[in-house]
Amino acid sequence: MGVQNPPSPGQPTRKGHSSSGLGLVLALVLPACLIAPPAAQVFSASGTVRGASTSEAQELADKLEYLRPSLMRSLPGVRQVDDLEVWIQDTPGLYSFPHSSNSDAEGLWSESHDRILLARNADDMERTLAHELVHASLGHGWHTLPGTLEEGLADYMSAKLVPDAAARLRAGRLASAALATGGLGMTLSIRLPNNPSTWMARITLSGTQPSANPQRDVFRLAAGLSSTKVTAASKRGYYGLAFVLINRTIERQGLQHLLNLCLSAEQQGYESVPRPWLLKAADLADTPEAWRTAALEAMGKAELVELLDMHPGFVRNAAANYLRDKGIQDLEGLEITLTLRESNTTLDLQENEAFTTALLAELTE
Ligand SMILES: [Zn+2]
């Protein structure tokens, strides 16, 4: 996510995006009060990390020293930032007046200050640092990447750089993309011991589609910029769709091809890469259905396990209701599977200890 300066005379906003008229008036009336740096600091070859204590800063500096050179090696078209700083804060921000649209962000990149701002309680601080480092490192060649797609690239690279966090990140983004384009359908199947028939329940997770054609708006809206006013759910949807397109393009064509599209667009005088070029590179049709299918096809077993972990109730309740109805209180000899429709990814839920433990607890309570 990128943060904008409060517009003030002589200070251009990032990439020419303008904030709302109301924001402009407030910023001109209120003096922008810069937040003071955190108390402790650790210097490293990859940048300065500031946190509440030296140990907090040191822990993140160790990650920065590994992540930044890895990113510079693996991503083409990068730029060098000489005085990079990373600040660990309770709420990431540059200024001390309330900036409501930033309050849910776990990380921000401020281009004007060469500073990454990270939330102390981020779900995964290493992954968030990797994501913000991508924003910080993208050279001029990438500037024609349209709309929200820079977020997809930052997520893609952070999943590569922090493999332990990859399945959870991918599950979240792919599920959000599916929810933004019609929903996510699963089939729960249970077979009782010595019984040839299988009981099946269709479970659908549905969300709000942000617009009639979110797969078009993802090219138009910069959902990662703090000045873009969309709801949190819509923002998640656009981040998800951006991830689907970027993930698919890079897996099919490679990172260099994506950069080449950006460079060709600039050479041919386009402000941003034309949508048809990107759809072709990702082999995607311009319909919500095509993008939903693409999101679900990208979900494998590891992502489905994470999805189950993120929303533990929806499958467990359906299974518990059926088993209670049959008077069954233990899972011995049962076959319980969960299949992601449209992708045929199937999990054997008997192998998922977190699930069986919670299901047994629910059956015997
Ligand atoms: Zn971002």
Q: What is the residue-averaged pLDDT of the chain?
A: 90
Q: Using an 8 Å Cβ cutoff, are 133 and 125 in contact?
A: no
How far is ligand 1, taken at its centre, from the CA of residue 226, in Å?
Answer: 10
How far is ligand 1, taken at its centre, from the CA of residue 108, in Å?
Answer: 7
Mean pLDDT of 191-200: 92
The reported pLDDT for the residue numbered 17 is 32
How far is ligand 1, taken at its centre, from the CA of residue 68, in Å?
Answer: 16
The reported pLDDT for the residue numbered 146 is 95
How far is ligand 1, taken at its centre, from the CA of residue 250, in Å?
Answer: 18
The reported pLDDT for the residue numbered 227 is 81
How far is ligand 1, taken at its centre, from the CA of residue 52, in Å?
Answer: 24
Q: Which residues contact residue 34 at a Cβ distance below 8 angstroms, ignoring those fewer than 6 apart? A: 94, 95, 96
The reported pLDDT for the residue numbered 173 is 98
Percent of the chain with pLDDT over 90: 79
How far is ligand 1, taken at its centre, from the CA of residue 186, in Å?
Answer: 30
| Closest listed residue to residue 336, CA positions, set 125, 192, 212, 204 | 192
The reported pLDDT for the residue numbered 5 is 47
Q: Using an 8 Å Cβ cutoff, are 267 and 321 in contact?
A: no
How far is ligand 1, taken at its centre, from the CA of residue 219, in Å?
Answer: 15
How far is ligand 1, taken at its centre, from the CA of residue 135, in Å?
Answer: 7
φ, ψ (nearest 5 deg) of residue 52: -70, -30
How far is ligand 1, taken at its centre, from the CA of residue 170, in Å?
Answer: 15
Express each pLDDT in 135-190 by its tens digit. Answer: 999 999 999 999 899 999 999 999 999 999 999 999 999 999 999 999 999 999 99
The reported pLDDT for the residue numbered 223 is 87
Let me know the angle formed at the C-alpha of 139 by 267 and 231, rounded to the nearest 5 degrees. 100
CATH topology of domain 32-138: Zincin-like (3.30.2010)
Q: Using an 8 Å Cβ cutoff, are 185 and 243 in contact?
A: no
The reported pLDDT for the residue numbered 21 is 37
pTM of the model: 0.88
Mean pLDDT of 334-346: 93
How far is ligand 1, taken at its centre, from the CA of residue 304, in Å?
Answer: 24
How far is ligand 1, taken at its centre, from the CA of residue 351, in Å?
Answer: 35
How far is ligand 1, taken at its centre, from the CA of residue 319, in Å?
Answer: 38
Mean pLDDT of 273-289: 98
The domain ranges of the chain are 32-138, 147-365
How far is ligand 1, taken at its centre, from the CA of residue 330, in Å?
Answer: 46
How far is ligand 1, taken at its centre, from the CA of residue 56, in Å?
Answer: 23
How far is ligand 1, taken at its centre, from the CA of residue 365, in Å?
Answer: 44
- Of 44-53, 230-239, 282-291, where does mean pLDDT reach its minimum? 230-239
Got the DSSP string for 32-96?
A: P-BPPPPSEEEEETTEEEEESSHHHHHHHHHHHHHHHHHHHHHSSSB---TT-EEEEESS--SBS
Please, what's the largest Cα pairwise distance for the chain?
77
How far is ligand 1, taken at its centre, from the CA of residue 131, in Å?
Answer: 6
How far is ligand 1, taken at its centre, from the CA of residue 297, in Å?
Answer: 24
